[in-house]
Amino acid sequence: LTDEDLDGLIAFFDLLSASESLRAVTQLSAKERDHLITILPSEIAAELVEEAPNEVAVDLVERLEADKAAEIMDTLGSDLQADVIGEMDQEEAEAILAEMTSEHAQDVRRLAAYDDDTAGGLMIAEVFTFRQSDSISQVLLQLASEEEEDERLRGQHPYVIDEDNKPIGVVSLRSLITSRRSASLSSIMVPAVTVLVSTPLDDLVDLFDKHSFLGLPVVEADGSLAGVVSRSAVEEALHERSEMQSLKRQGIVGDELRSMPLLLRSRRRLSWLSANIVLNIIAASVISAYEETLAAVIAIAIFLPMVSDMSGCSGNQAVGVSMRELTLGLVTSRDVFRVWLKEASIGIVNGIVLGLLIGMVAWIWKGNAYLGLVIGLALAINTVIAVSIGGIVPILLKRFGQDPAVASGPLLTTVTDMAGFFLVLSLAAFFMPQLLGA
Amino acid sequence: LTDEDLDGLIAFFDLLSASESLRAVTQLSAKERDHLITILPSEIAAELVEEAPNEVAVDLVERLEADKAAEIMDTLGSDLQADVIGEMDQEEAEAILAEMTSEHAQDVRRLAAYDDDTAGGLMIAEVFTFRQSDSISQVLLQLASEEEEDERLRGQHPYVIDEDNKPIGVVSLRSLITSRRSASLSSIMVPAVTVLVSTPLDDLVDLFDKHSFLGLPVVEADGSLAGVVSRSAVEEALHERSEMQSLKRQGIVGDELRSMPLLLRSRRRLSWLSANIVLNIIAASVISAYEETLAAVIAIAIFLPMVSDMSGCSGNQAVGVSMRELTLGLVTSRDVFRVWLKEASIGIVNGIVLGLLIGMVAWIWKGNAYLGLVIGLALAINTVIAVSIGGIVPILLKRFGQDPAVASGPLLTTVTDMAGFFLVLSLAAFFMPQLLGA
């Protein structure tokens, strides 16, 4: 990659979609990537930063000289600026902020202070504001002069603020068009629905579900206008959150991409796996307590992983349904008993079916009806235990302020492994004469 | 629930948010629910149907008399109408369509024919169209008379069509405001970006990423205007798809909620579990082949589930990262080798760490260094296998047109279980003299 190829490079990026460009860039080595982002014009670099997941965006920007980084940052929306700056080291962030236009830097400092999944964290600082005394023609002129394509103003209505910067009204397009151009905004505005900077994502989702607004003005605790949160920002945050939850369930910490350094990825994965080892040792200690039983009927060892795995799967289905119902707001922490009742019934039906199936397999495979009885009975009972736990654990975790996406799976697996091993081995110990006699 | 309480009931629903109402309704018995939806005013019933996941919406509507159902359906957006009607039995759907206003029924029949995750399946039929010869004041009058809050027209621009119903231009708000009111649209319109009814969701996501449009006109193969797909419909579909994928990974088929009948839920869960039994039996047959080895060193049985579970977790992390990179468009089917290389490196690092950890545990627990060696070595090698398979299987499944969300997990688990059992048991057989001699 040399500077002479720059024109070709720009032409190349023009041909690619944003995600294709990002793919190309993430496949470069860290050194090539740093060089590339330095020589690319800031508009193209900004597109890459916009498309990239947060951690990659930070990585791209923080390798640059502060002035080049500031140039790219200045072209981004204030919400993205705040996200990127918020994840940087204090020192680097300050160096870049110092080079940005002071107006932008001020907005970013303010926005970066809010929590990610609140109205403050999702809003943009750029707002379309007018005074009560402004006339319709002033608004129309402003509308006409604004870059209509500007994403940051997408879906905003003109908001009317008082002298304390408090939003007191909103003006509809229809009233703008149908009223005399000399009329003042106070005569056509309607009261604005506002949200607080601290309003959480879930409440925003509910509000946007209930109303058809494209954006809502966000106010500080003192009522002054802080920004506008758009419907699409809320939908994006919702999507991002559920993606993250799904990754967490699989033991991925943070926003791992294969372009990140090996040792960082390895360390993050190990942090989750090593917690899992401990849980596994606890479960395995149940087997260890029954070594004699196992030694007497070695065929049991074949079915131990099977019973624990099948129960784990059944329990996971219950976790999945509970997570979905929690997301949709269809269950609350008061519904633990109802959920348990529903899951236990399904556990009994599925437990009988699966127990019969696996019992027959064990009987036919090893020619021992009692082995079939032990394995089948253990799976049937453990299925009821697994779906009961799988159904209620996410709801209880949520009640106690824990993230159900992270802890439900490992908790469930440990309990169903332990219960499965215990059931198989204690039933085997109980039926030992019959198992050996057949 | 009696009819006399209706006023109280309406007041009650007015107090609840849409998701709270839905929660209340899904907790009723099927009979109570049917009665409730029959007596509720159709606006409130329509809100419930709008908020509900598709399967629940269908369930609510199809229990009603056709005329009442049609009344509710008529108040919904055409995209939702088509979704609900599309999932009903032919007969019931026809009965309801016959009672709907003929214009709506016609739109629904047309829309229900398109695939869900295409522009045709996501668009709404209600479009804001004008002729080239129309004047600006005609458009402004229309804008002013439309229900601006109507969600169906949210974010649409006025589209200009020719006599064949083909979109030839789009008019910006800015040009509407700044031009003479008597000017014709042909003088201010710009060419419209259109998509085909068959354009898939992923391409729509790319388009909306690249441009800041709030909506795009959708055309049939012959170029005639079929509807408008909005940015928020695309974002919603994307979110819904990733939720469904995450549920599928946990073995949930379709849109299960606990308000559905027990036997339906049980049957669906069993369909996935019974496939899993087969895979489990295949894996367990590896253990069966080594019964003699197991009988000689029974402590091995304690570590079999541990090695297979830990490898499964490592592999799942790789699946998670591949799924995310596929979603972000950062890997394609050409990247199999690159992904394998990246995963194998992480597998070697994590395999050594985990193998040492579990090897030490086995050694200390059972006081046998060779047992530690066997278990540790098996886990180290199996970790490399698991992350390699976990990383590339989703990409290969996608290349062969399969849904990676469904098949990756079970495939991975079966292979890592088999490889894990084989590694532990064959290494144990190899070191048998040392294992017994220590």
Domain architecture of chain B: domains with CATH: 3-113 (1.25.60.10), 129-249 (3.10.580.10), 262-437 (1.10.357.20)
**Cα distance between residue B104 and residue A206, in whole Å:** 28
Q: Pick from A305, A317, A421: which is nearest to B308 by CB? A: A305
Could you give the CA distance from residue B16 to residue B21 in angstroms, rounded to a whole number? 6
The span from the CA of B71 to the CA of B43, in Å, is 9
Residue B321's identity, in one-letter code, is V
User: What is the side-by-side strand order in the sheet with A195-196?
Assistant: A195-196, A215-219, A225-230
Q: Which two tokens stand for residue A208?
A: 């946007």
CA B394 to the chain's CA centroid: 16
Contact A214, B154 (CB under 8 A): yes
pLDDT of residue B148: 46
CB contact under 8 A, A301 and B304: yes
State in Å, rounded, how far the first CA of chain B is from the last one.
75
- Per CB-CB distance under 8 Å, the chain A contacts of B392 are none
**Tokens at residue A290, please?**
């029954």
| Cβ proximity of B300 and B425 under 8 Å | yes
- Which ipTM was obtained for this model? 0.82
Radius of gyration, alpha carbons of chain A? 30
The Cα–Cα gap between B210 and A15 comes to 12
Question: What is the structure's pLDDT at A1?
Answer: 52
Alpha carbons B103 and B112: distance in angstroms, whole number: 14
pLDDT on residue B1: 52
Q: Which two tokens stand for residue A112?
A: 């970066």
Please name the member of B173, B262, B353 whose beta carbon is closest to the beta carbon of A148: B173
How far is it, in rounded angstroms, from Cα A53 to Cα A60? 11
Q: Are B390 and B384 in contact (CB under 8 A)?
A: no
Query: Can you give the pLDDT at residue A149?
Result: 45
- Token pair listed for B304: 């079999």
Question: Among A26-40, A125-139, B243-257, B294-308, which range has the highest average pLDDT?
Answer: B294-308
Choose among B247, B266, B317: nearest Cβ to A250. B317
Alpha helices in B201-335 (DSSP H): 201-210, 231-249, 262-289, 291-296, 300-327
Closest CA to A265 of B321, B358, B313: B321
> How many C-beta atoms surround the C-beta of residue A338 within 10 A?
13
Report the distance separating Cα A319 and Cα A387, nearest Å.
8
CB-closest option in A26, A146, A273 to B330: A26
Which residues have CB under 8 Å from B165's CB, separation 6+?
B224, B225
Number of helices and strands (H, E) in chain B? 21, 6
Tokens standing for A407? 């802890």
* Chain A residues inside the 8 Å CB shell of B284: 302-303, 305-306
A330 CB neighbours in chain B (<8 A) are 19, 22-23, 26, 257-259
- Higher-scoring residue by pLDDT: B252, A309: A309
Among the partner residues B214, B236, B342, nearest to A154 by beta-carbon distance: B214
Q: Is A337 exposed, middle or buried, given 0-12, 13-18 or 19+ CB atoms closer than 10 A?
A: exposed
Closest CA to A130 of A122, A143, A139: A139
Cβ density class B257-285: b for 16+ within 10 Å, e for less: bbbbeeeebbebbbebbeebbebbbebbe
CB contact under 8 A, B283 and A305: yes
Task: Return the higher-pLDDT residue of B175 and A396.
Answer: A396
Contact B19 A209 (CB under 8 A): yes
- Helices within B17-101 (DSSP H only): 18-26, 30-39, 42-51, 54-62, 66-74, 78-86, 90-99
Asked if B246 and A250 come within 8 Å (Cβ–Cβ), the reply is no
Q: Give the integer Cα–Cα distance in Å for A416 and A351.
A: 14
In this prediction, residue A4 has a pLDDT band, given cuts at 50, 70 and 90, of low
Structure tokens belonging to residue B227:
């509807």
Q: How many CB pairs (< 8 A) connect A and B?
A: 315
Spatial distance between the Cα atoms of A81 and B341, rounded to a whole number of angstroms: 34
- Using the Cα atoms of residue B293, residue B295, residue B296 and residue B297 in order, give the sign of their dihedral: positive
Over 80: is that where the pLDDT of A85 sits?
Answer: yes
Spatial neighbors of A115 by CB under 8 A, at least 6 apart, are A121, A198
A331 contact residues in B (CB cutoff 8 A): 23, 258
Half-sphere exposure of B285 (CA within 13 A, CB side): 9
A258:B316 CB<8 A: no
Distance, CA of B430 to chain centre: 47
Residue reference for tokens 């159904």: A391
Amino acid identity, position A5 = D
Nearest to B386 by CA among B409, B402, B404, B367: B409
Q: Which residues contact B333 (CB under 8 A, 6 or more apart)?
A: B395, B396, B398, B399
Residue A247 has pLDDT above 80, yes or no: yes
Which residues of chain B have a CB within 8 Å of the CB of A53?
Answer: 328
Is A152 a residue whose pLDDT tops 70? no
Q: What number of residues does chain B have?
A: 438
Q: Which of A382, A354, A370 is nearest to A296 (CA)?
A: A370
Encode A242-255: b = buried (16+ Cβ within 10 Å), e = exposed: bbbbbbbbbbbbeb
DSSP H/E element including B33: helix B30-39
pLDDT at A201 over 50: yes
Find chain A residues with C-beta within 8 A of B173's C-beta: 143, 148, 173
Contacts of B299 in chain A (CB under 8 A): 288, 291
pLDDT along chain B (438 residues), means of 10: 68 76 81 81 83 81 84 83 85 87 86 88 86 85 61 68 91 76 86 92 86 85 91 86 83 80 89 89 92 90 93 93 85 89 95 96 92 96 96 92 83 93 95 84
Q: Are B322 and B388 in contact (CB under 8 A)?
A: no
Question: A135 - beta bridge partners?
Answer: A184
Tell me A90's DSSP state.
Answer: H
pLDDT above 90: percentage of residues in chain A: 35
Q: Chain B: residue nearest A288 by CA?
A: B302
Contacts of B258 (CB under 8 A, 6+ apart): A321, A325, A330, A331, A338, A339, A342, A343, B26, B265
